[in-house]
Amino acid sequence: MFNRTPHTLVPAGLVLAGLSIGVMAGCVQNQPFESMVDQVVSADRPLAEPVAMFAQSYGGDAGLTEGKVYLVSTKIELEALGTETIAANHDVDFRTQDLVILALGEQPNTGYWTQITAIQLEGTNLQVQATANQPGPDDIVVQELTYPYCAAKISKTGAHTVQSDVTSVHGQAKPN
């Protein structure tokens, strides 16, 4: 964390490097350099904190027809999703835990899977990092509709929104 005082000295090389990057990128702004630094280094901006995952499970559930990430905080929310396998296979104590579900939606064959690799909390927003696989050109798959998902049980975070950052891969082996 940077501690700034009104008389902070910035090395000339750093100023020139910062200004030349802005000019090269075509992002010249009519703002003094000091105010641009204030925007980047702000003590008021919350930092992302890692969120521990207690358990992860993978599967398919025809109730998850949309490709999206869900933050489930109550049993009523879980039941409203209309998922049979997730509701039956996850013993979540919603008083102290939430369930994060990353669904790929309807897919044409069995070569698709997803895995949540990390979850971070930034203020009241959960950032979910994940990997999603689609079959490679030489993969042998069954041609049937599938609804792949990954669900992770986490402690209550107080999050109100959730976003995902999914990396796409091809022809990878399914995680255990």
- The pLDDT of residue 159: 96
- The pLDDT of residue 90: 80
Sequence spans of domains, the chain: 1-45, 49-170
At residue 130, φ and ψ (nearest 5 deg) are -155, 165
pTM for this model (two decimals): 0.72
Let me know: does 105 contact 66? Beta carbons within 8 Å: yes
Query: What is the DSSP track for 3-14?
Result: ---TT----HHH
Q: pLDDT tens digits for 22-31?
A: 433 434 343 4
Distances (CA, A) of 166 to 107, 116, 152: 16, 9, 15
CA 141-142-146 angle, 5° bins: 105
- DSSP state, residue 77: H
Indicate left, alpha or beta for 143 from its phi (over 0: left) and psi (-120 to 50: alpha).
beta
Which residues of the chain register pLDDT less than 70? 1-46
